[in-house]
């Protein structure tokens, strides 16, 4: 079994919302188990500074909506979380910014490869949950998003 097949198994777990998967084939056995992500002790809050951001009076409304209306952008891999393409660049997204399916929200560095992570949903960023330059686990929440129709 090669790394591509293992990555496919991880993707299958994520799409099927599985917490454990075990495969045995030709004398090779792999067992994957997803632990619940740790709760963020101190969420990273960043104040908006872009023209395309939601007005400040709307932020209060967005910050505390009913729990069922908030979705999360989760890490598709283990690696180091970066909010911007370089240390001296502005973050890809800010709290209050509207995103769509193709909006790059961050980079996760894994094995010296910089992987752009897209929002994959339409909505407004309400919270940044990961700390810039710190490791993240597979399926860890990175951002909270209020979906838009």
What's the pLDDT score for residue 127? Answer: 94
pLDDT tens-digit map of 29-66: 777 777 665 555 545 555 444 545 556 666 555 555 55
Mean pLDDT of the chain: 80
Q: Taking a C-beta distance cutoff of 8 angstroms, is the pair 92, 104 a contact?
A: yes
Full strand arrangement of the beta sheet holding 104-110? 113-118, 104-110, 79-82, 135-136
Percent of the chain's residues with pLDDT above 90: 50
Classify domain 38-147 at the CATH topology level: OB fold (Dihydrolipoamide Acetyltransferase, E2P) (2.40.50)
For the chain, which residues make up each domain, given as ranges? 1-34, 38-147
Distance set, CA 102 to CA 4, 69, 71 (Å):
24, 21, 16
How many other C-beta atoms can be found within 10 angstroms of the C-beta atom of residue 137?
A: 14
Q: Taking a C-beta distance cutoff of 8 angstroms, is the pair 140, 14 a contact?
A: no
């Amino acid at each position: 079994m090669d790394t591509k097949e293992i990555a496919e198994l991880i993707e299958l777990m994520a799409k099927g919302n599985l917490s454990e998967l075990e495969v045995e084939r030709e004398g090779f056995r792999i067992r994957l188990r997803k632990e619940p992500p740790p709760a963020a002790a101190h969420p990273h809050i960043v104040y908006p500074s872009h023209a395309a951001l939601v007005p400040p009076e709307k932020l209060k409304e967005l910050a505390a909506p009913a729990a069922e209306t908030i979705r999360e952008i989760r890490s598709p891999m283990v690696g180091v979380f970066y909010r911007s393409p370089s240390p001296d660049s502005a973050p890809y997204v800010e709290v209050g910014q509207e995103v769509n399916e193709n909006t790059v929200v961050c980079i996760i560095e894994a094995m010296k490869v910089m992987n752009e992570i897209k929002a994959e949903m339409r909505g407004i960023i309400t919270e940044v949950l990961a700390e810039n330059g710190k490791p993240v686990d597979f399926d860890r929440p990175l951002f909270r998003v209020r979906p838009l129709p």
